[in-house]
Amino acid sequence: MSTQTTGGTDNSAAPDHPSRSDGFVRGVSGLIGGPLGDHAAALDRPVGGERRFWTAVRIVLALVCLTMALHWVQKSPCQDGAWTNNVQYTRFCYTDVLALYYAEGLNEGKVPYRDHPVEYPVLTGYFMGVLGLPVHELGSEDPGLNQAMWFYNLNVLVLGALAVATVAVILALRRRRPWDAALFALAPALLLTATVNWDFLAIGLAAFGLLAWARRKPALAGLLLGLGGAAKLWPLFLFWPILLLAIRSSRLRAALTAIGTGAAALVVVNLPTALLYPTNWGRFLELNTERPIDWGTLWYIGRYLDGKFGEPDAGPFEWLSNNIPVLNNLAYALFFLACVGVAVLALRAPRRPRLAQLAFLVVAAFLIFSKVWSQQFVLWLLPLVVLARPKWGAFLAWQLAEVGYFVAFYGELLGTSTGTPVFPEGVFVLAATFRLTTVVVLCVLVIREILRPEQDAVRASYPDDPDAGVIDGAPDAPWVTRQRASVAAT
């Protein structure tokens, strides 16, 4: 019978060093002299009576700042908004932030939802307006001002600050394992997609929501996750693992407080716009209902295989692409079944899973079965996988797949725009399959570590779950104990 460690999380233990604990890093460290020695001076400990300036925390924060600066450079060819000769594809610098400044009427001073329907949830629309309308006013006073460039760079500053804040949250949640946050800070996907859209608004809110939950503030956690859900839908999915772990530990009051606060925040943000401008407010829901199979999804791969190995225009995936309501229901059903599977895993695992493990599985399942998987959605998984499974090997394989998909995606966009294929047929589908496969592999690895908690790197550093808040260190509910005793007896 397994038992949960009581007493909460103790942060006084020595920090983890990846060159010792991570097999991949230990192997690579041989190129520069091998793992950290037993007598080496730790970066976060005083030397000669003085504390080092370059601690692990400061190095990781500097790295994410460097990555965001390089991201800005990588997107700089598109900053002026004058996209001629398909520069947005040939230089890999396309961003919705610039494209939608015009498409959503911000350059004309249109107020989101009031004057123009917006294809995103309300908080993202508000965010666009708060940053875009002042730029339009400046442009009205100074006709020579490049509004697009000002708007994009203002977004880079705010979204970049949210990216740095997300790393700071990971560092706060992993005081014993500060180098885990380096996976996020150095992720190639962050470098390539950080400001393709406004996803970091939801990511930042979700990260702070998880921190509030870990700090045993369920009402604040619910508020932040609810606001995150008002920016992008996926932060609302995090309430499911919170509820499951609360059921297993008999800590329902805290979970229900968070869920209730989150629901209230979602209603408060959406209700005024829904009542005043119902048609424009509902555009997001309408688009998600009507959208066909998007590039790079499981359904897109299936439709391609229909055309290659089945009868043209007669395969099951091709049929689904022509029957969007059925496709919607099937995608929802598969995601629901995945959530049921996560529930079974959470309630029957030999040891209570960690919150980040279940959160990663839920969000990953949503992407795997969704009919839309935009290039920047990789950012949703970044903080969750770092918290769930901070191991470099599989993480880098996944990032390699994301980079390959990124390049193939832009090649496909360029080929569609010019009418001349950039890559041989099937390259884009192969890249999408590789990306999908690596996400599935990460899910399998996380599930394996849930079933074999002795393989969990985070549990090697913490007695229970540093993200679990009031659940951290709590014993399993009596019914779980009885169930496990019954299984052991048989």
**Exposed (0-12), middle (13-18) or buried (19+): which is 400, by Cβ within 10 Å?**
middle
Whole-angstrom distance, CA of residue 411 vs CA of residue 249: 50
Cβ atoms of 97 and 195 within 8 Å: the answer is yes
| pTM for the model | 0.91
Kindly state the tokens that stand for 43: 């970066």
Query: How would you write the pLDDT of the chain (490 residues) with one tens digit per residue?
Result: 344 444 444 444 556 666 566 666 655 545 544 455 555 555 555 555 567 888 999 999 999 999 999 999 999 999 988 899 999 999 999 999 999 999 999 999 999 999 999 999 999 999 999 999 999 999 999 988 999 999 999 999 999 999 999 999 999 999 999 999 999 999 999 999 999 999 999 999 999 999 999 999 999 999 999 999 999 999 999 999 999 999 999 999 999 999 999 999 999 999 999 999 999 999 999 999 999 999 999 999 999 998 887 776 778 999 999 999 999 999 999 999 999 999 999 999 999 999 999 999 999 999 999 999 999 999 999 999 999 999 999 999 999 999 999 999 999 999 999 999 999 999 999 999 999 999 999 999 999 999 999 999 999 999 999 999 999 999 999 888 887 777 666 6
Query: What pLDDT score does 11 carry?
Result: 45
Query: What pLDDT score does 48 carry?
Result: 52
Cβ atoms of 466 and 9 within 8 Å: the answer is yes
Written as one string, the DSSP assignment of 170-184 is HHHHTTT-GGGHHHH
Residue from 195, 208, 196, 205 nearest 123 by CA: 205
Whole-angstrom distance, CA of residue 293 vs CA of residue 315: 14
Whole-angstrom distance, CA of residue 113 vs CA of residue 306: 40
Query: What pLDDT score does 411 carry?
Result: 97
Query: What pLDDT score does 168 carry?
Result: 98
Cα maximum dimension of the chain: 80
Residue from 86, 120, 115, 114 nearest 100 by CA: 120
Indicate left, alpha or beta for 54 from its phi (over 0: left) and psi (-120 to 50: alpha).
beta
Whole-angstrom distance, CA of residue 51 vs CA of residue 327: 59
Residue 352: HSE in the Cβ half-sphere, 13 Å Cα cutoff: 31
Q: Which residues pair with 47 in a beta bridge?
A: 50
**Exposed (0-12), middle (13-18) or buried (19+): which is 344, by Cβ within 10 Å?**
exposed
Could you give phi then psi for residue 7, rounded to 5 degrees?
A: 100, 0
Query: What pLDDT score does 445 carry?
Result: 98
Kindly state the tokens that stand for 250: 């008999």
Angle between helix 378-388 and 355-369 (nearest 10): 150
Name the amino acid, one letter, at 155: N
Name the amino acid, one letter, at 301: I
Angle between helix 122-141 and 199-214 (nearest 10): 130
- DSSP-derived letter for residue 45 is S
Residue from 154, 192, 136, 248 nearest 377 by CA: 192
Angle between helix 147-173 and 56-75 (nearest 10): 160
Whole-angstrom distance, CA of residue 276 vs CA of residue 223: 23
Radius of gyration of the chain (CA): 24
Query: What pLDDT score does 479 carry?
Result: 86
Query: What pLDDT score does 247 carry?
Result: 97
Kindly state the tokens that stand for 131: 């940053």
Cβ atoms of 446 and 453 within 8 Å: the answer is no
Kindly state the tokens that stand for 234: 């996926």
Say how many C-beta atoms besides its own lie within 10 A of residue 452's C-beta.
12
Could you give phi then psi for residue 93, rounded to 5 degrees?
A: -115, 10
Q: Beta strands of 180-288 (E only): which ranges?
A: none
Q: Where are the domains of the chain?
A: 61-489
Residue from 3, 5, 1, 2 nearest 473 by CA: 5
